[in-house]
Amino acid sequence: MGDRICYQYGLTLNGPFITGNLDRHAVEFLTGKWLEVFIWGVLSPFEGTAIGDLNIGINVGGTGQGQDNELDVSYIKDQSLCIVECKTGGQSHDPNADNTLYKIEAIKAGLGAIRVETYFATTSSNGIDKKTGLIKESLKNRASLYNCAIIPGDQLSEMAELWIRKDTAALTQKVRSAFKLP
């Protein structure tokens, strides 16, 4: 994978290290935007059939700087607004992985929409119980209270593997299940 990244961004692979310079757009993409693009990509085949108006990076909310909220990925399904919040990396500032759920709920409430479905796609292991390898019970309960589906890293990894293998049928089934698509 490192060689692909190096090729794409003009970097050099020196043993386990990647060296070189990146512009701000590449840094933004590699530090998290890639997950938004990936989610948008796995949902895009469903646009026009199961979902509509698929978008990435829509700003909604306040009237001044710092008051807007970005919807990482959003779309319409069954007359409901669907929002996917994406988080990558260690998320050390959110050790229990619940701050993102609070943010999602606050955005949902702020929109004042009647029908909103929310999803939390994350590669962070903060929400995973180290003993069981499953989503922490407390996080699962909070997500259930907020009616927010969590799509953890292992499911995202499975989707990526299916995409790489070009296993369209299995990927379609996995995406339909994760995003509750008809």
Break the chain into its structural domains and give their ranges: 31-178
Query: Residue 36 in contact with residue 22, Cβ under 8 Å?
Result: no
Q: CB-based contacts of 115: which residues, under 8 Å, 6+ apart?
A: 79, 80, 81
In sequence order, what DSSP letters do the residues of 21-36 get, joined into one string?
A: ---HHHHHIIIIIHHH
- The span from the CA of 178 to the CA of 182, in Å, is 11
Residue 81 has pLDDT above 80, yes or no: yes
Q: Are the CB atoms for 159 and 168 separated by under 8 Å?
A: no
Indicate the residue type of 11.
Answer: L
Residues 159/144, Cβ–Cβ less than 8 Å: no
Mind listing the pLDDT tens digit for each residue in 14-70? 888 888 888 888 877 777 789 999 999 999 999 999 999 999 988 886 655 556 688
Determine the CATH number of domain 31-178: 3.40.1350.10
Tens of pLDDT along 117-162?
Answer: 999 998 877 778 788 888 888 888 888 888 899 999 999 999 999 9
Structure tokens at 138: 């407390």
